[in-house]
Structure 1
Amino acid sequence: MVEAPDYGHETTSEAASYYVWLEAMNGKFTGDFSGVTKAWDVIEKYFIPTHADQPAMGTYPRDKPATYAPEWETPDKYPAQLDFGVAVGKDPINNELKSAYGTDDIYGMHWLVDVDNWYG
């Protein structure tokens, strides 16, 4: 199994986090933390999806946020059949987050980023 294949056109959220950490360490030694702001700006520009990239988040069903799929011991059992009859509970914090931030959008980093649109 290959995790996070990289052919020179991708980067990871770990790399972005490391970039912020490097700038923070540089700031610790030089007293100039402006690099942290620049690194965070890069993350927000390339790693955090915009509203246009998640247009359906407003239709997210808070009272039934998922459909159950069983887990299996071996790969031959996948893809697992979805079981719509299993109760999955409610999203306990979605309403609080929407109220606090005024949006349904998720503010979270993509794991892999196509840095030069190689994959389209």
Structure 2
Amino acid sequence: MSGLLKRSKDMACGHLLGTLASSLDLERPDLGASRGPSARAAHLSFMDIQDSAPRTLEVLSLPELAERLHVSAQTLYDLRTKGRGPRGFRVGPRLMFRVVEIEAWLARMEADDARRHDRSRP
């Protein structure tokens, strides 16, 4: 097991045990020597980074996107098959979409629709 993975696992176990102990009004179990404030600060700084993540990291799953657009997941699959759907990517078996890509796709669809229904043309 890599060092980072082991530290993450140890930290998670310690947090869970501490949470359980406090909810049951028990003493927190001794998990050995503390890693000191530097490990705690690193953990908190990661949380700050995650909260201020760039919009390019915001994603929706296929079911989430279908729900927001009030269409079926099959409709989105069909649009993608025809080359008219949003650009997505797979994470394992799940199809995911960046929010910025969805917004760009919707803007393209609006522009295409406006051109098709331009009333100024004879």
Structure (1/2) with the larger helix percentage: 2
TM range (shorter): under 0.3
Structure with the greater alpha carbon radius of gyration: 2
Q: Greater RCO between the two (CA within 8 Å, min separation 6)? A: 1
Structure (1/2) with the larger strand percentage: 2
TM-score by length of 1: 0.27
TM-score by length of 2: 0.27
